[in-house]
Structure 1
Amino acid sequence: MRINYAPSTPPTTNPDGTPLPEAEQKATAEVYERVAARRKPRPLIPLDLALLHSPPIANGYNALLGAIRTQAVMPQDVLELSVCRVAILNGAVYEWNAHAPLALKAGVTAAQLQEVKSLPISTFTPEGKIINNVEKPVGSSLTDFQWDVVIFTDAMTKNIKVDDAIFAAIKSRFSEREVVELTVCIGAYNMVSRFLVTLDVGENNDKSMKDPVNIESELKK
């Protein structure tokens, strides 16, 4: 990583060796406990150890992403599909390699995930209208609603301004709560991908994104 990782256990001193105030030590330890609880049974991951340089930020991140992952009513296959597309659009190898297996476990097929990986990045007019990827390709393995989610993800990520037609497709398929959850998920994982790539968390920037078929084979072992 481009900076050092934070300690894997709650620090009791500042980087210069001076002791942390007792209240800050207690607050920091509580953040570590909350982050560790969300990761169980796994240990803290490199992303956690990057964020824990700032315990308040790590705490807020943990709460938001934990809510998206465990409290959203939007089906996980939809959310993971959007996260994987964000990873492709932003070149976030760490994010793709972490979430592609989750997408497969949630029910996205390897063929569908491969299409998410290989589909050209959508382009848009200044007004937000899509230029390419106007229609789902003939023979696409993606369902119609998956296609709409991918294009919505492209619009939010690459253009920010989402055309009314693209938004209408999402609004017609999901409840207002689900629309909010999907929109927050895409926005949140754009933040995550930018953090991961900028700091090269996990030293993944020069690595390849795993092939969905190979990931599927690993999951079956």
Structure 2
Amino acid sequence: MGAIRTRTTLDARSRELAICRVAVVNRAWYEWAHHAPLARAAGVSEAGLDIVKREFLVPKDGDEEKARKGAEDVGLGEKEWAVLRYTDEMTRNVHVPDDVFGALERVFGEREVVEVTATVASYNCVSRFLVALDVGERNGTGPDDTPPH
């Protein structure tokens, strides 16, 4: 895991957005608690993190363009939106639709696409392990709930 976080060419903002989105989708709040501050340090605003925390990036009955525009309005541009959408598809469905993959390829080189994929896959493994065993987790809570003392 150290190599995934420190030995790739991915910028910290993209990496932490992917990790935070995995945490939200898998309800891995221990992971969220450790990586949301790193996302903030990488320049993601609170409003940006609010988008990351949504249950669905694009409401099931919603318009993706409107959702993407809302993300843009809080500083999550094309690159960040591509990372979030790709992370969602990998985490929720494993299979990534061609349009979502194409959006990622438009903003990243081949190596970075592999690195985003490795990051999402690795943190899916971590989050599923932590949640299943309730290791440091707050199962049944949310990202903004105060951890028990």
TM-score bin (small chain): 0.7 to 0.9
Structure 2 residue 126 is matched with structure 1 residue 192: yes
Q: Distance in 2 between matches of 1:76 and 1:198?
A: 27
What is the RMSD of the two structures over their aligned residues, measured on CA atoms? 2.1
Deviation at 1:209, TM superposition (A): 1.4
Q: Give secondary structure in 1 for the equivalent of 2:9.
A: coil
Q: Distance in 2 between matches of 1:203 and 1:154?
A: 21
The C-alpha deviation readout for 1:1-26, integer Å capped at 9, x for no partner, is: xxxxxxxxxxxxxxxxxxxxxxxxxx
Structure 2 unaligned blocks of 5 or more: none
Q: Which amino acid aligns with 1:172?
A: R
Structure number with greater CO (CA < 8 Å, separation at least 6) is: 2
CA distance 1:76–1:198, shift in 2 (3 Å)? same
Residue 153 of structure 1 is matched in structure 2 by 87
- The answer (yes or no) to whether the contact 1:122–1:154 under 8 Å persists in 2 is no
Q: Which amino acid aligns with 1:111?
A: A
Q: Which amino acid aligns with 1:89?
A: V
Structure 2 residue 67 is matched with structure 1 residue 67: no
Deviation at 1:134, TM superposition (A): 2.7
Deviation at 1:210, TM superposition (A): 2.9
CA distance 1:184–1:132, shift in 2 (3 Å)? farther
- The answer (yes or no) to whether the contact 1:93–1:204 under 8 Å persists in 2 is yes
Residue 95 of structure 1 is matched in structure 2 by 31
Structure 2 residue 42 is matched with structure 1 residue 106: yes
**Bigger-Rg structure (1/2):** 1
- The answer (yes or no) to whether the contact 1:156–1:186 under 8 Å persists in 2 is yes
Deviation at 1:111, TM superposition (A): 1.1
The alignment's TM-score, normalised by the length of structure 1, stands at 0.59
- The answer (yes or no) to whether the contact 1:84–1:96 under 8 Å persists in 2 is yes
Deviation at 1:208, TM superposition (A): 3.5
CA distance 1:159–1:133, shift in 2 (3 Å)? farther
Give 1:180's match in structure 2, choosing from 114, 117, 125: 114
Q: Distance in 2 between matches of 1:77 and 1:112?
A: 11
Q: Distance in 1 between matches of 2:142 and 2:55?
A: 17
Deviation at 1:206, TM superposition (A): 4.0
The C-alpha deviation readout for 1:98-129, integer Å capped at 9, x for no partner, is: 110011111111111111102525689xxxxx
Q: Give secondary structure in 1 for the equivalent of 2:136.
A: helix
Residue 134 of structure 1 is matched in structure 2 by 64
